[in-house]
Amino acid sequence: MTILFSILILLSSLALIISVLLQESKSEGLGAIGGGSTNSLWGKNRGTSYEDMLKRITTVSAVIFIISALVLAAVK
């Protein structure tokens, strides 16, 4: 079981590093809080762009990494 979760940590960390490095930097900073963004949250193309795919990969990789780390910590 520890081998499985060790492999999951390795794969999810690599996916997390690659997906974060491929994302474009946002120069908005805290200005995005005020609603100055032109992207609509409820637009019909939501979730289909390259950036949204990278965000989804980043989120899933982070969740898998955290869960695997917690399980490994509990087992040892």
What's the structural domain count of the chain?
Answer: 1
CA of 66: how far to CAs of 39, 48, 61, in Å?
30, 26, 9
For the stretch 4-55, pLDDT in tens is 999 999 999 999 999 999 988 876 655 556 555 555 555 556 557 888 999 9
| Burial class of residue 12 in the structure, from the number of CB atoms within 10 Å of its CB (0-12 exposed, 13-18 middle, 19+ buried) | buried
Domain region containing 6:
1-22+47-76
Q: Is residue 52 part of a domain?
A: yes
* 28 within a domain of the structure (yes/no): no
Closest of 61, 40, 37 to residue 49, by C-alpha: 40
Q: Is the pLDDT of residue 68 over 70?
A: yes
The reply to whether 53 falls in a domain is yes
Predicted local confidence at residue 20, as pLDDT: 94
Does residue 40 form part of some domain?
Answer: no
Is position 76 within any domain?
A: yes
